[in-house]
Amino acid sequence: MLKKIKKALLSLAASGLLLTGISTWQAAPVAAATANYQQQDLNLDVKAAIAVDADSGQILYAKNATTPRQIASMTKLVTVYLTLQAIKQGKLSWTSTSKPTAAIAKISQNTEYSNVPLTSSRAYTIKDLYRATLIESANGAAMTLAQAVSGDQVTFVKKMRKLLTSWGIKDAKIYNACGLANGNLGSAAYPGVGKDVENEMSATDMAIVCQKLLKDFPEVLQTTSITSATFSSGSTQSQMTNWNWMLKGLSSYYSDLPVDGLKTGTTDKAGACFAGTVKKNGHRIITVVLGAKHANSQDPSRFVQTAKLMHYVYQNYTAVTLKKGSSISGANTVKVPEGKETSSKVVLDKTVTIWAKQGSKLQTSLSKTTVSAPVKKGSKVASYKFSATSGKLPSLSGKTVTAPAVATQDNQEANFFVRLWRSIFGSK
């Protein structure tokens, strides 16, 4: 009898009357985040800007955010990342030393640029050079770090480019480790390019750099939050003051914005730039402004605009944190037609924070509603996809914010007879 039934089923399948297999639902691909996402809500007086959640990369605001522009000394964040990476890999230590070349020493003694004075007759510790790079934005110190990591400036620039490419940043233009115009570097200039060229990245790309740095080396905030320190060069003592005036105790500090990083940048072409970060109400965001006004060395415009952007985010968004292991109503099961149980429960596999415009509601769906057996406890079976009634929730990856959905228990494949019965009479 079983053979007859099986033969009949095969006949139906051949005629196309019996549909078998696993049905899946996959949302349409999300286009890359627009360059002006929600910029109509805020009129920032800058050439380009972006605000993102530091963890998920969810974009909360963007203005001309995908257009590459000069980034000046914000370049040093890439230099710092590679320095910290070399230390983590054991290639350098904080007590390792590096002696600047004559060309670097000459740059470091130019008072037109941010610097601590270095001499080619003395070696400096990586820790001292690192601190000078982040606090004083010292150009010579950044170039000496590059030399310590790669041996020479050109090799280090290639390393910078390779790192950025690995992060999906494809339109950056990088020529040096410090952010000065190529013509300002004398004999240390990058060969084969004009003297006016400068490092360029988009606000989006710079946000990615900040996100990677904070994720892989969160200890960087211990240094970027220092307002002042002393740099020693033999018998010479140099006082360093952080160019990030939004730090507590400095001129552009806002008591409701406990900013603790990251890096400023200024050239004639770039204008005043700032990659900032702040953690408030338990949630950290990253902001980038490019091309703010720079009337003179005392102009606080980039910090005024950054504060405006940070306030906008915290005042207009509600951050909802969904904890690892949470079961989300309406998206807590997947169908398993061939399993012993015809459905499996799923939960969030990591804690995720979603920002929604005030007045809007979060919406959650699963990338798959049907999966094949067997299902193993703790295995990823789908992804949670988040949206809001106010619109999509784009992220730095160019996709909507997602989180893994994992099974809460094993669900083995049902035996042949059960599967056959279901194929004929349904799963009930």
Residues involved in catalysis:
73, 76, 137
Q: Which residues pair with 391 in a beta bridge?
A: 388
Long-range contacts of 90-96 (CB under 8 A, 24+ apart): 91/149, 92/126, 92/148, 92/149, 93/126, 94/125, 94/126, 94/127, 94/130, 95/125, 95/126, 95/127, 96/125, 96/126, 96/148
Q: Which DSSP string do the residues of 312-323 spell out, in sequence order?
A: HHHHHEEEEEE-
With 0-12 / 13-18 / 19 or more C-beta atoms within 10 angstroms meaning exposed / middle / buried, residue 302 is buried
Q: Which residues have a Cβ under 8 Å from the Cβ of 225 and sit 6 or more positions away? A: 247, 260, 261
Neighbours of 266 (CB within 10 A): 23
Please give the Cα distance from 249 to 413 (Å, whole number): 64
Sign of the dihedral through C-alpha 98, 103, 106, 107: negative
* Spatial contact of 375 and 382, defined as CB atoms under 8 Å apart: no
Q: Check: CB of residue 354 under 8 Å from CB of residue 320.
A: yes
Tokens 């050239």 sit at which residue? Answer: 267
Q: Which H/E stretch holds residue 104?
A: helix 102-108
Amino acid in position 76: K
